[in-house]
Structure 1
Amino acid sequence: MGRIFISAGHGGLEDGRRDPGSIVGNTTEAQEMIQLRDLIVQELRSRNFEVLSVPDDLSAAQSIAWINLRYRAEDVALEIHADSFTNPSVRGASVFYIANNDERRAHGELMLIALLRRIPQLPNRGAKPDTNAGVGRLAFCRDTVAPSLLMEVGFLSSPDDRQLLQARRRDFALGLADGLAAWSRQVASTTVQPGEPSAYPEIAVRINGRNYPEKGILVNGNAYITIDLADSLGINAAAETRIGRLSYQGVVYMKAVDLREFNVSVAWDNDSRSVVLKTIFQICPGQLDRLMGHGNTSEVQLMMFLKSHNELALSQFPDIPKLYREEGALEGVNYDIAFCQMCLETNFLRFGGDVKSTQNNFAGLGATGAGAQGAGFASARLGVRAQIQHLKAYASTEPILQDIVDPRFRFVTRGVAPLVGLLSGRWAADLQYGDKIMAILRRLYESAGLI
């Protein structure tokens, strides 16, 4: 039987400062998760499982390195968090797994079922690939060598979830211990020891519809491809520190899913046991993250993507995809990027924060937090136009072609942010703002079959 690593999210030092995670009322995410983690460890040890508790003074990267240094075959790793959102009515538990790994998805569902059996009042938000996370990847899922999951046990910002967690902490711990015990047994029963003949099964690789002559391998349910394949795509994977890699039978392999960071779509075909890669360079030469340019999606593709994330999104704004395509094309702004920024700012037209849907403000223009609602516009078209104008102000020194409706246009230094990443710390204080927009853009292109 393998060992179980448990990490309580946050609490360590990030950029020289203590990271408390979410702060709500008189508690913090770090405090709540450490208390819960300690109860889980106690329960599992009482069941004779060997448990390793990640030290609380480590940063996120150091926590992963701590686990990787000690990892042995059959081990599993869980990190627990509490989510937070501007709308206090949003609640429930979810679990994230590394994308394209059906085995890990099943493990995540197992963990959720075990928790909800003990806490049936907690809504189930499902097992989700880490590509659905804000920045499009979760380091704990991607970079931990052991089979790993990141679990959001509830929303600290929800009074109902918070009360449940604090009043029934032991039941939470029992549920998570049940899930970890079952998960550990499953992994132990299927793990092949590294070094044994054919320890890692071979898989086929397809690129843009063609078979690649060199095989990949399957490790802990994750597809690995050769570094040479990345080189053939013009990707210098060897220089990227975030890419998971291993050496096997004299060949260096990398995790296929990490190619998504280079705008390559990665999928898994179970029938042929193939990892399927598709490059965006077929449809979008040049830089994917350049604000000035033309979008690549159709109105229907934008509509379907929006509905897949919020079934009711088009009930109030039925013409929103058309508006972004028309207004973006007129000013030469990439309407795909603008549309994805809207999805981030409004939570796919759910709103729920300081800005209300009736304001037709789709990008938080003038909203500074602390209840400040920001600008309002007479129609959805004018709201989209203001956002497009603000993006053009940042990205270009070219003149605006229509009357300026953006109330903050004059405050922008023209042309200072031609790339999406340069909006971070400018459009929003969030230093990952651009990464979050790019994560949604990749999901849009994957859903449209463009990558």
Structure 2
Amino acid sequence: MEFKDFNKDKLKIWLEIFLAVVLVAVVGIAGNKGVFDKKSAKAAETVQAKEAEALKNAEKENEAAKTEGTADKDASGEKNEKSDTGETEEVIAEGQYPIMGKSSVTVEQMVDYFNSSGEKYPESALGKGGADSIETFCQMYYDEAVAEGVRPEVAFVQTMKETGWLQYGGDASIEQFNFAGLGTTGGGVAGNSYPDVKTGIRAQIQHLKAYATVDSLTQECVDDRYEYVTKGCAPYVEWLGQQENPEGYGWATADNYGYSIVDMISKLKEMK
């Protein structure tokens, strides 16, 4: 063998070795890349699975929130389209008679309740203010109360209590058309006066609404003491008495003031 033939053979061997090494390297890299791809794919699948689970849980929570919200809405008394009588009686049984809400009480029951007192309706004095009969008077109470979302029986019975069945005799006089002692503080202070019966009734109802809720008034405010009330401090009739109100707020200081009104309402509702 000649020397140059030997060199060629040697070069060929080294070239084959080099190619073999390169091939091994390429195969190794390719194999590792496959592993990395598998790991990346697996990680991606894990992330996707977690995202899917999170989305599913979120959907469940949203559905639960909707259901809970509906239940809360029903419990808050906004299901007034259902039987008002059943709802009212349930509240009375719990000892909390709400000032706001729909009512099953009728104008006729209010008229009969007044007549059951045996007192004479002061048609001369109240006629000058636009209510010449008990029927007209009760209708005004009903309409004004419904306009503000106040239960008519609450305002009407409060008036019967405050005025002694429209006979007055306290610091305020019947000519003031002040039916619930607005502005009377005792010691001969006559309190507020209004131009007619309807305005006096509206002022009382707006004052009741101020105690019962933070909602704004529906009609133009005629109660000049509206701004002084802590809004929503007495949502229940029972809490109109300062002694029974959890925070010490209230319409009057007399013992069991609100409870006595609820008792009178119960008697009114017995009228057929």
Q: How many corresponding residue pairs?
A: 169
Query: Match for 2:115: what amino acid?
Result: K
Q: Per-residue CA shift, 1:210-261, capped at 9, x if unaligned?
A: xxxxxxxxxxxxxxxxxxxxxxxxxxxxxxxxxxxxxxxxxxxxxxxxxxxx
Which of 298, 310, 335 is equivalent to 2:106?
Answer: 298
1:310–1:350: 8 Å Cα contact kept in structure 2? no
Q: Does 1:284 align with 2:88?
A: yes
Relative to structure 1, is the Cα distance of residues 383 and 310 closer, same or farther in structure 2, using a 3 angstrom cutoff?
farther
CA distance in 2, matches of 1:443, 1:382: 27
Residue equivalent to 2:37? none
Q: Does 1:429 align with 2:253?
A: yes
Q: How far 1:282 sits from its partner (Å)?
A: 4.1
Whose helix proportion is higher, 1 or 2?
2
CA distance in 2, matches of 1:305, 1:416: 29
**Larger Rg belongs to:** 2
CA distance in 2, matches of 1:410, 1:282: 34
Q: Per-residue CA shift, 1:119-144, capped at 9, x if unaligned?
A: xxxxxxxxxxxxxxxxxxxxxxxxxx
CA distance in 2, matches of 1:417, 1:437: 14
Query: Match for 2:259: what amino acid?
Result: D
Q: Per-residue CA shift, 1:45-84, capped at 9, x if unaligned?
A: xxxxxxxxxxxxxxxxxxxxxxxxxxxxxxxxxxxxxxxx
Matching of residues 271-350 of structure 1 within 5 Å:
282=86, 284-288=88-92, 289-313=97-121, 315=123, 316=126, 317=131, 318=133, 319-350=136-167
Q: How far 1:310 sits from its partner (Å)?
A: 3.9
Q: How far 1:401 sits from its partner (Å)?
A: 1.1
CA distance in 1, matches of 2:85, 2:140: 26
Matching of residues 192-231 of structure 1 within 5 Å:
none
Q: How far 1:311 sits from its partner (Å)?
A: 3.6
Structure with larger RCO (C-alpha < 8 A, sep 6+): 2
CA distance in 2, matches of 1:338, 1:416: 17
Name the TM-score, length of structure 1 as normaliser: 0.36
CA distance in 2, matches of 1:397, 1:375: 23
Query: Match for 1:329: what amino acid?
Result: V
Residue equivalent to 2:263? 439
CA distance in 1, matches of 2:200, 2:118: 20
Other structure's SS at 2:251 match: coil
Name the TM-score, length of structure 2 as normaliser: 0.59
Other structure's SS at 1:287 match: helix
1:314–1:320: 8 Å Cα contact kept in structure 2? no
Query: Match for 1:294: what amino acid?
Result: K
Residue equivalent to 1:378? 195
1:394–1:416: 8 Å Cα contact kept in structure 2? yes
1:310–1:349: 8 Å Cα contact kept in structure 2? no
RMSD of Structure 2 on Structure 1 (CA):
1.7
